[in-house]
Amino acid sequence: MNSIVSDILDLENEYGHSELFNGANDENAVLDKLGLLISVMRYIESGTEKTVRDKALSSITNLINAHALSPESVAFILYLESPENDFKFEEFCRLYEARSKEDSAVFRAVYYKLKYEEAYSNLHMFDKYERINEKYIARYGHEAPDVFSGRGAVYTVIVGGYDELHDPLYVDPELDYYFFTDEPEKYSSSIWKIKKLEFVVENDNTRTQRYAKMHPFVLLPDYDFTIYVDGKFTITGDLREYINIFSRGSGMLCFPHPERQTLEEEVAAIKEFRYGLDPMVRNELDEQVDAYRAEGYADDEPLVDSGCIVRSNHDKALNEVMETWWNEVLSRTARDQISLGYSCWNRRYKYDISALSIYDNKYLDYCDHNDR
């Protein structure tokens, strides 16, 4: 059997449809049906004469309404044919929405599942990290509740002029964009809504920034979910797509650290990158890790790069984790990546991780601090 047909039939079986052979007597008739679908997709993309395009699209619409093209089959072919064409994706979402909300949901789920599999299979840089791969595999394949629905906001925080403000290159009209700073008069933007930070840790820009980073439910209480992005990044892609592909039901979605796996490795990197680090702080870092180990904390979950975090404002357990994280930053060192994993472990909170490097993906572009 043709491998494409076989793959689609497997998906139909997984999601509970059996439509691909409806109205078709053999595999050749099925391939003709899929060929028509591919032609329609190419017509849409190429700008073929409107009457020709409309006629082809009408044929596909009739097949969908006659339950002869399942949402799984259309999602599969769309993914193969042009996975980055948002217009086609929305067009077929509309067609299945007209048939039923359940079919529209299946279409989206299969499409994003295929994109997730691609991202996972192409993740060569993590091949040697078996524990991370095991976490991806364990979390993959489960139907996840939509915890990031409703009203969303993207926000960034710059304190003490540490970074330049970078306007997003991709703007989602359904999201609001906020920039929090202690010096609002120094910045301007046509995209970010500039807000003055009301909570300031006196003579401590780092902890002031950390407070805002850790308290989206305080800064933006009217939103259902938030996306925090470090000032060192420019938004270059659709963050909703990122969420749809990698969210697995937790109230927090993070990027795994692309280089380090343990707290000891993170501390060593901090010391190496910051040659002038106060010897007292160096000792405090070691003492912090020793304290966590003494409590029983191990590196069972991947170390997080906290430069981009998606969080639900309605997850009370997560908000408690954020308070724990903040207390760790207040009472120990301000190096927040050291204490995030511990804070989640301490509160028995399981976060989701993506299968991407935060420094090599289509959603964020690294700009370095203050463009230096």
- What is the C-alpha to C-alpha distance for residues 237 and 168, in angstroms, rounded to an integer? 9
Residue 220 has pLDDT above 80, yes or no: yes
The winner for highest mean pLDDT among 13-22, 77-86, 325-334 is 325-334
Residue 129 has pLDDT above 50, yes or no: no
**Mean pLDDT, rounded, for 241-261:** 90
Three-state DSSP at 229 gives strand
Contact 44, 81 (CB under 8 A): no
Distances (CA, A) of 288 to 257, 267, 350, 370: 19, 10, 22, 29
**Mean pLDDT, rounded, for 69-87:** 86
**Mean pLDDT, rounded, for 208-234:** 97
Residue 370 confidence (pLDDT)? 47
Question: Mean pLDDT score of the chain, rounded to an integer?
Answer: 87
**Mean pLDDT, rounded, for 254-274:** 90
pLDDT tens for 281-299 read 899 999 999 999 999 999 8
Residue 257 has pLDDT above 70, yes or no: yes
Residue 371 confidence (pLDDT)? 39
Dig out the tokens for 257 from the structure.
Answer: 């650290």
- What is the C-alpha to C-alpha distance for residues 347 and 66, in angstroms, rounded to an integer? 51
Say which residues have a Cβ less than 8 Å from residue 319's Cβ, sequence separation at least 6: 217, 313
Residue 366 has pLDDT above 80, yes or no: yes
- What is the C-alpha to C-alpha distance for residues 8 and 4, in angstroms, rounded to an integer? 6
What proportion of the chain, given as a percentage, has pLDDT over 90? 54
Residue 48 confidence (pLDDT)? 61
Residue 315 has pLDDT above 70, yes or no: yes
Residue 23 confidence (pLDDT)? 87
| Domain range annotation of the chain | 3-121, 152-371
Please report the beta strands in the chain, taking only residues with DSSP state E, as ranges in sequence order.
Answer: 152-158, 175-181, 193-196, 225-229, 233-235, 252-256, 304-312, 352-353, 364-366
Say which residues have a Cβ less than 8 Å from residue 279's Cβ, sequence separation at least 6: none
Contact 193, 178 (CB under 8 A): yes
Dig out the tokens for 267 from the structure.
Answer: 């501390």
Torsion of CA 292, 293, 297, 302, to 10 degrees: 90
Binned at pLDDT 50, 70 and 90, residue 368 comes out as low
Label residue 296 exposed, middle or buried (CB < 10 Å: 0-12, 13-18, 19+).
exposed
Residue 190 has pLDDT above 80, yes or no: yes
Residue 365 confidence (pLDDT)? 95
Taking the complete model, does pTM exceed 0.85, yes or no?
Answer: no
Residue 131 has pLDDT above 70, yes or no: no
How many other CB atoms are there within 10 angstroms of residue 63's CB atom? 20
Residue 128 has pLDDT above 60, yes or no: no
Contact 88, 82 (CB under 8 A): yes
What proportion of the chain, given as a percentage, has pLDDT over 70? 90
Torsion sign across C-alpha atoms 168, 311, 161, 363? negative
Contact 130, 366 (CB under 8 A): no
Binned at pLDDT 50, 70 and 90, residue 143 comes out as low
Specify the CATH architecture of the domain 152-371: Alpha-Beta Complex (3.90)
Helix or strand holding residue 13 (H, E): helix 3-15
Q: Look at residues 48, 74, 52 and name the one whose alpha carbon lies nearest to residue 61.
A: 74
The separation between CA 28 and the C-alpha centre of its own chain, rounded to angstroms, equals 39
Residue 45 confidence (pLDDT)? 66
